Structure 1
Amino acid sequence: MRDAVLRATTELLSEGGLPAATVDAVSARSGVSKATIYKHWPNRICVAIDAFDLHMAETTPVPDTGSAREDLTEQVRNVAAFYASPVGRVYAQLLAATVTDPEAAELLRRRFLAGRRELIRQIWHRGVDRGELRTDIDVEVAQDVLFGAIIFRLVSGHAPLGPSEADAMAEAALAGLLVR
């Protein structure tokens, strides 16, 4: 049931963004009753957050190349490519929707952001342990430096979010994060 709902929601998000992912549409696409959906999620935004989280986890595996520079650069590329995709662009809609929905905002922070940030912490700590990354920089700040520009570009739309832009953002961030 959960998989069917999340897959249907991901398809709808890809096809028409958050507006397309209504509980009626998810129910029709997944074959799961609306009552069952509401039994597991308080609203459609929460369903969309879970679907978004699952899709990103499946499509952006965390690299482990043996090099902090390579791992972080590849992860910035992967995240930028994800956010440039039809489902990835929905993140801006989810952020906007959570402004007026405290329950969904908490779910977004707890389930999606906390999990993604933990994966980057693992990359960071491997790099610190190998002596490649600066120990005087907090991992939380490093994550914001590495990935904040991607989210800013997604939300503002002021500049492209392609592979060359991802490489440039990673290079600029890593210039200050790597041990010289």
Structure 2
Amino acid sequence: MAIRSEQSRRAILEATMRLLDESGPAAVSVQKLSIERIAREAGVSKTTIYRWWPSKAAVVIDTFLDNHVARTPIREDVPAIEAVREHLASLAEIYAGGEGRLVAQLIAECQDDPATMVEFKERFWTPRSRAVIQLVRRAMEEGSMRGDLDPELMTELLYSPIYFRLLLRTGALDAEATKGILHTALEGLAAGRYGVQQAYAEHSAQRWLPG
């Protein structure tokens, strides 16, 4: 990519972030943001923006991703179960701030705009969830997670508490609270002497014993 083109692209991403910064003087919501507003803030034409992005949603998602991936790493240099813990803890901590509110706005917009939903899944959700699914598979192979469950379902189970708290604000998204959430989820997925179904069967049988 030519230097001038890369400078324009960076200017667009930075302008979008300034406009979405809640503490900034020109702050707007995702819903009220427009390509025209981004172009004016970045000092470029709308044609320049459309050269790289098909829609406002795509610009916003790439603006979000610009720093998000680096701040929520999926490590390969540590045991998989440790990488899972670190990744999800970092995700929750970041979502406790401005990035979380931005994602919540994007998800809200997805409900009324199928095109935004497609962009959100293609640019953000699908690549990141695939990476975590691969991490879960590695944890299964290493024996730190149960190997008899669907890794995609396990990934959803790990992500769900964070997004539930993000969207419904039912609890904190800080390090300590997330540690408890992850501990509970990972204990349920952990490889052990017997599976959850056997433990449930034993518990059910005990309910009917006289005592």
**TM-score, with normalisation over the residues of structure 1?**
0.89
Say which SS state the counterpart of residue 20 (structure 2) adopts: helix
Partner of 1:91: 103
1:89-168 to 2 correspondences below 5 Å: 89-168=101-180
Partner of 2:63: 51
Output the amino acid matched with 1:156.
L
Do the aligned residues in 1 keep the contact of 2:141 with 2:147 (CA within 8 Å)?
Answer: no
Deviation of 1:47 after TM superposition, in Å, equals: 1.3
Structure 2: unaligned runs, 5 residues or longer: 1-7, 193-211
**TM-score, with normalisation over the residues of structure 2?**
0.77
Q: How many residues align?
A: 180
Structure ID, larger Rg: 2
Partner of 2:205: none
Output the amino acid matched with 2:43.
G
Do the aligned residues in 2 keep the contact of 1:72 with 1:170 (CA within 8 Å)?
Answer: no
What is the alpha-carbon root mean square deviation over aligned residues? 1.9
1:71-86 to 2 correspondences below 5 Å: 71-86=83-98
Higher relative contact order (CA 8 A, sep 6+): 1
Say which SS state the counterpart of residue 132 (structure 2) adopts: helix
Say which SS state the counterpart of residue 87 (structure 1) adopts: helix
Deviation of 1:36 after TM superposition, in Å, equals: 1.8
Q: Percent identity?
A: 32
Say which SS state the counterpart of residue 18 (structure 1) adopts: coil
Deviation of 1:71 after TM superposition, in Å, equals: 1.3
Q: Which deviations, in whole Å up to 9, do the C-alpha atoms of 1:18-52 show, x marking residues without a partner?
A: 25643233223322212322343333222112222
Structure 1: unaligned runs, 5 residues or longer: none
Moved more, 2-11 or 155-164: 2-11
